[in-house]
Amino acid sequence: MYESIRVAIIDDDWSQDITYQDIVFINREFADSLLDKDDFLYDKIATCLKNEDPNIKLDEDIIYSSLANEKVQTLLLDDQKKYVYEAIERKKSFLEPLNKVKNFFIENTIQNKNIDIIHSHSDEKLEKEIYDIVCIDYFFKDNSENETLSILSKMLSKNNNSLFILMSSHTQRLEKDIEHIRTKLEISKARFRLLSKPMKKASDLEQEIKWNFTIKQLLEEKKLIPYVESFIKSWQKKIKLAADKVCKDLWEIDCDSINKLYITAKNDNIDLESYIPDILSKQILSNLEAESVSVTASGVSKTLNQELANIDRLRPSHDLIESRSYLYDLIKNISWEGRVVDRYNTNQFESPFSWFKSNIRFGTVITINDGAPLINLTQPCDLTQGSDSEKTKLLFIKGDFVSINLTAKISNKIGVSYACKMDGEWKNIHWNFLNPEIRTLQSILGKVHNIVVVGTLRQEQAQSLVHQFTQQVSRIGLVRQPEIGCMQSIFVKVINIEKNNITLQRIDKKGNDDKFPTLVISNTSNSISKTKLKVFFESPIDSFKNTIGKECLIQIPIHNCLFLRGFMDESDFLKALDTLNFGLKANTNSQDKIAGYLNIEKYNLSENLSILIKNSQGKLKKDRIFLLNLI
């Protein structure tokens, strides 16, 4: 339980006080009449309130909130009472999603006493208290984000480690504003989650999963976030220094220098504006490489590395904004040049050929008539020296746009270009090396009005595709070899059973255990140290140690793991292996002597082994021996 974690859920919907906005939503005429001090109804309400409290100071908020007062309601006409009752019921309905949010925190072991409910910007808790997680309605007051940003800034000034969940029913506006929010508050995306308010009616399983996952993730990542932000700030400083140095160095350019750069660009068949970014990016990279030494020396990277080493693989968040958008952009920038090429138009270029030579480079990806992508792999020198005659030939490889989430194994006949954004969606491009196309330049120019430039791969990315392509076309055909492997089995003996721990001992077929390590499994944990597992399974048995490799799988019986009551000689051991029938799947209905199996990656068996032991509690006794089979 997170006993010390404090949470604030801030939303004006917690308040059940009736406001002008509540009444105007039901009936504007009635709402406006309550503002008219000359109106008979206003006079009656004012008299009633002063009779109860002679010192009361009447204002708009007091008048509207008084509508919840039963004495005031007796002064209303039937229609007016109906409006008030509707407003009250509507206010009550706003509590449903907020109570769901509160329950989500409680379900994640946050104590109820540590969850504060705040409905007003003037609540003194906002000034006095410090919160670990602040969950706030983005449009907290008057359907504006200004008050929300003010509160968040105030929270950060008191506790720089606060985490935030911004929630709203108007998610599109929230998605649009998030970059402005982070920039203004100078905090990283790691601190923020954007979530839709839960539905008022019925159970929404998807929202429930997202909320519970988000809360759990924030609690798990809370310790790491300050290190991440220190890393970001450190690199921000270095990037600015590197860019500032390049800007300063630009003043060293004289007429002779600019002339040589112009001639170089012209000889490469590109204009100066296209050539300069290539040079400057290399300068910035060189400066960054120099600055990165000082980042490492400062200890920021070292500290972050140490923290990450103690954390299992983290999962992406489930908020409204794509949590991996930065990684997608990063991959795109690694693979693709940043320049954008407009379609051919006669106002800008004197001929299709001049447009082509200026924009279609080695590695440029195009579509024609919105068809499949084509990548130009014609060598740069051939493009530079080419003309628009029928003799000029171009080499293209045809591809397909595929989902960036497609993770199936890719054949060596396919090349991949990553992170291309098409129609608002991230795509990869799979290039089919068995489908090269030779096209004349004239045939391309004849369709120039229908050509769309998707982008241009960076030089090294395009060269890599050429290398893969030439390997494919020049490969030697060999007979495929069958995949065979050597199966190994190890014996494990239960040497001690305590209240919370079970100790296992590796033994050989004769029962000797003097050269093998032990492994302690806790009943209260679902994981085992990977280092301990490595030592346990790679202890000195030559035949086993030599066969275990990168692709080695460990098979663990999960239904009724075959327990052996005594030691076996070699013939009994072989009979046991025959009985196990390795072809069975994990969900097979096993007979008494046959166990189902689950294939898992090497050393990724911590949780599985723990579960196996826990599920076998009734069969586990001291000196009992069981078999683990490895292929």
> CATH no. for residue 47?
3.40.50.2300
- Tell whether 151 and 248 lie within a shared domain: no
Report the phi/psi class of residue 152: left, alpha or beta, with left for phi > 0 and alpha for psi in -120 to 50.
Answer: alpha
Task: Examine the fold and report which residue of 179, 203, 221 is the final residue of a domain before the chain moves on.
Answer: 221
- State whether 365 and 421 are in the same domain: yes
pLDDT at residue 549, rounded to an integer: 37
Q: Are residues 65 and 124 in the same domain?
A: yes
What sign results for the dihedral spanned by CA atoms 402, 406, 411, 415? positive
Rounded to whole angstroms, what are the CA distances from 178 to 57, 94, 189, 191, 195?
40, 24, 9, 12, 12
* pLDDT for the residue 561: 34
In a domain, 67, yes or no: yes
Q: Is residue 260 part of a domain?
A: yes
* Domain shared by 432 and 395, yes or no: yes
Handedness of CA 439, 442, 446, 450 (dihedral sign): positive
Q: Return contacts of 136-139, CB within 8 angstroms, 24+ apart.
A: 136/8, 136/9, 136/10, 136/11, 136/164, 136/165, 136/166, 136/167, 137/10, 137/11, 137/12, 137/13, 137/167, 137/168, 137/197, 138/166, 138/167, 138/168, 138/170, 138/173, 138/174, 138/177, 139/168, 139/170
Provide mean pLDDT across the span 501-527: 72
Ordered alpha helix ranges (H), 507-559: 530-537, 542-547
Q: Is the residue at 482 inside a domain?
A: no
Structure tokens at 7: 């949470």
330: in domain: no
Q: Which residue has the higher pLDDT, 402 or 616?
A: 402
Residue 74 counted as domain residue: yes
- Specify the number of domains making up the chain: 4
Report the percent of the chain where pLDDT is more than 90: 11
Domain span including residue 517: 488-630
Q: Same domain for 178 and 317?
A: no
**Distances from the Cα of 610 to the Cα of 488, 529, 556, 587, angstroms:** 21, 11, 11, 19
CB atoms within 10 A of CB 595: 24
Residues 43 and 6 in one domain: yes
Tell me the two tokens of residue 94: 């706003």
77 & 157 share domain: yes
* Same domain assignment for residues 460 and 516: no
479 falls within a domain: no
Distance, in Å, from the CA atom of 231 to the CA atom of 252, rounded to the nearest integer, reads: 33
Q: What is the pLDDT of residues 273-284, one digit of tens each?
A: 878 888 888 888
Contact assessment for residue 454 and residue 413, using Cβ atoms and an 8 Å cutoff: no
Q: Could you report the per-residue pLDDT of 594-615, keeping only the tens digit for each?
A: 233 333 333 344 444 555 555 5
Residues 12 and 48 reside in one and the same domain: yes
Decide which of 203, 221, 239 is a domain's last residue.
Answer: 221
Tokens representing 616 are 């076998």
Q: Are residues 373 and 246 part of one domain?
A: no
Query: Does 569 share its domain with 602?
Result: yes
- Residue where a domain stops, chosen among 473, 500, 521: 473
At residue 295, does pLDDT exceed 60?
no
CA 525 to each of CA 249, 471, 598, 609: distance values in angstroms, whole numbers, following the listed order: 59, 50, 20, 11
pLDDT tens, residue by residue, 117-160: 998 888 888 888 889 999 998 887 766 677 888 888 888 887 77
Residues 287 and 348 grouped into a single domain: no
302 domain residue, yes or no: yes
**Would you say residue 481 lies in a domain?**
no
